[in-house]
Amino acid sequence: MLSKADNERLTRVGPGTPMGELFRRFWMPALLSEEVAERDGAPVRLRLLGEDLVAFRDTQGRIGIVDAYCAHRRAGLYFGRNEDCGLRCVYHGWKFNVDGECVDMPAEPQGMSASTRVRIKAYKTAERNGVVWVYMGPPESEPALPDFEWSRLPERQHTATKRWQQCNWAQAVEGGIDSSHISFLHSRTEKTALPSNKYHASDRHPVFEVQETDYGLRIAARRNAEPGTYYWRVTQFLLPFYSMIPPVGDFPESSREPYDGHAWVPIDDENTWTWSFSASPARAYDDKELEFRGGREGFWGPVDEQYRPLLNRDNDYHIDRARQRTGNFTGIDGIPNQDAAVQESMGPIVDRTKERLGASDRGIVQFRRLLLRLARELEEGTPPAAAADGRLYNVRSASLLLPEDVPVATGAASLLAGAAP
């Protein structure tokens, strides 16, 4: 459990909050490139860390992420005209470029226009492999882009999708790094079902080893396998809100399969973008796989045009009580919907003063400690070291079988390293 004060510190991310300031020291995924695909195309509303913003791709292909409101009298720039290298407010025609500079004030007397230094808030952006990144922190402390494998693999070897989640970012992360729930929440109950992995079914009491690393946490869950061997699932937590989930298939085949990761990017304190990434270092995806991993109707969907899940809190995720008795553990279709159902069911911000943690929650305890410590260190003047070195993010998750006497850190080392850039 956490004290009320620590729960507040962990979860609140608006400007000026300790965690909000920590997050503002990292680059964050902001948009899919497909949302701002067109030069001079329609601007997109965007809310991140409790700030209302608008994104647009200008005539030269540059992406602006700027204040949602015009500097003049605060009209919404979402309604603006994206034309000739800037976004023009439709109220009185003031125009802003991707750097937030006001470059035209047609209603003002001549001479005031170009020379006045009116500007709106504008954040630095970057684009890689279909994802637009944003940096919302102090310009003089700009960090490195994290060198995730999925952000630099060739075409057809990576995917990115996102879906809206109606709860605070931290309880979503806690679901992502909690390896013990897969034996329950995502299990099947029908007699004919083949377990996705026999060890998840045969040993529902994993033993956890959590190691703090330069990039976050390495969370290893150990299950009993054949005599003399352990089955390990190694989940990565990467600062400030990423996870990498181990593959579920059988080892060693699973080690050549694509792996998945998430980012839980706060829209505000009570809403989150749940991003899903995948990387396939060993081979290119075929069309079906690309659609399955990256499409709106695929594994991480289905979602609507605004990336809102069709199965959601308002319709109880289409829970089917008959299926819950005979089909799968929840009666809810789709792993992401099962995760969302339990995470959102806790309320927008879970009251951690009331929980009772067990031994299987070791990773979650360490995650909270780490984030609270880094937020405090930043308040005291020390910025997070992980933000400065993008290479730290070149890691993978893994699941593997090891002899009982081989420590997971050494036995899994080669599987956990990403390919050299």
- Give me the residues that bind Fe ion (CB under 5 A), please: 339
Exposure string for 365-379, b = 16+ CB within 10 A, e = fewer? ebbbebbbebbeebe
Q: How far apart are CA 207 and CA 75, in angstroms?
A: 55
**Out of 46, 53, 54, 70, the residue judged to bind ligand FES by CB under 6 A:** 70
Q: Give the per-residue contact string, 148-167, with ligand FES (x = CB under 6 A; - = no).
A: --------------------
Instruction: Residue 75: name its binding partner from Fe ion, ligand FES, none (Cβ under 5 to 8 Å by kind).
Output: ligand FES
300-333 residues labelled b (16+ CB within 10 A) or e (exposed) = bbbbeeebebebbeeeebebbeebeeeebebbbb
- Pick between residue 90 and residue 207 the one whose CB is nearest to ligand FES: 90
The tokens describing 100, both together, are 């937030």
Cβ closer to Fe ion: 269 or 339?
A: 339
Residue 339 binds: one of Fe ion, ligand FES, none (C-beta under 5 to 8 A by kind): Fe ion
Q: Which is nearer to ligand FES, 95 or 163 (CB)?
A: 95
Choose from ligand FES, Fe ion, none: what does 198 bind? Cβ within 5-8 Å by kind.
Answer: none
Q: How far is the CB of 329 from Fe ion (least distance, A)?
A: 11
- Smallest gap from Cβ 293 to Fe ion, in A, equals 16
Q: Give the shortest CB-343-to-Fe ion separation in angstroms.
A: 9
Q: Nearest to Fe ion by Cβ — which residue? A: 339
Q: Which of residues 81-140 bind ligand FES (CB under 6 A)?
A: 89, 91-94
144 binds, options ligand FES, Fe ion, none, Cβ within 5 to 8 A by partner type: none
The least CB distance from residue 336 to Fe ion, in Å, is 8
Q: Which residues pair with 266 in a beta bridge?
A: 272
Contact assessment for residue 269 and residue 12, using Cβ atoms and an 8 Å cutoff = yes
As a dihedral over the C-alpha atoms of residue 250, residue 251, residue 254, residue 259, rounded to 10 degrees, the angle is 110
Cβ contacts of 120 within 8 Å, gap of 6 or more: 66, 67, 69, 70, 71, 77, 96, 100, 102
Residues 45, 73, 205, 283: which binds ligand FES (CB under 6 A)? 73
Binding mask 395-414 for ligand FES (x = CB under 6 A): --------------------
User: For the stretch 191-214, what's the b/e string if a residue is b when 16 or more beta carbons lie within 10 angstroms of its beta carbon?
Assistant: eeeeeebebbeebeebebbbeebe
Q: How does 73-87 read in b/e, with b if 16+ C-beta sit within 10 Å?
A: eebbbbebebeebbb
Which of these segments, 22-30, 66-74, 269-277, 384-392, binds ligand FES (CB under 6 A)? 66-74
CB of 268 to ligand FES, least distance (A): 24
Q: Taking CB within 5 to 8 Å according to partner kind, which of ligand FES, Fe ion, none is near residue 415?
A: none
How far, rounded to the nearest angstrom, does the alpha carbon of residue 11 sit from its chain's CA centroid?
15
CB atoms within 10 A of CB 118: 17
- Which one among 39, 47, 52, 75 touches ligand FES, defined by CB under 6 A? 75
Number of other residues whose CB lies within 10 A of the CB of residue 245: 21
Which one of Fe ion, ligand FES, none is in contact with 94 (Cβ closer than 5 to 8 A by kind)? ligand FES
Q: In the set 72, 124, 156, 181, which binds ligand FES (CB under 6 A)? A: 72
Shortest spacing between CB 122 and ligand FES, in angstroms:
16
Residue 207 contact among Fe ion, ligand FES, none, beta carbon within 5 to 8 Å by kind? none
Task: Give the count of beta carbons closer than 10 Å to the beta carbon of residue 42.
Answer: 12
CB of 88 to ligand FES, least distance (A): 8
Shortest Cβ 71–ligand FES spacing (Å): 7
* Binder of residue 376, out of Fe ion, ligand FES, none (CB less than 5 to 8 A by kind): none
Closest distance to ligand FES from the beta carbon of 70 (Å): 3
Q: Is the N-terminal amide bond of 146 cis, ω within 30° of 0?
A: no
Separation of alpha carbons 343 and 339, rounded Å? 6
Measured N-to-C along each axis, helices 4-11 and 362-379 cross at an angle, to the nearest 10 degrees, of 80
- Name the 3-class secondary structure at 119: strand
Q: Least separation, in Å, of the C-beta of 68 and ligand FES?
A: 12
Residues that bind ligand FES (CB under 6 A): 70, 72-73, 75, 89, 91-94
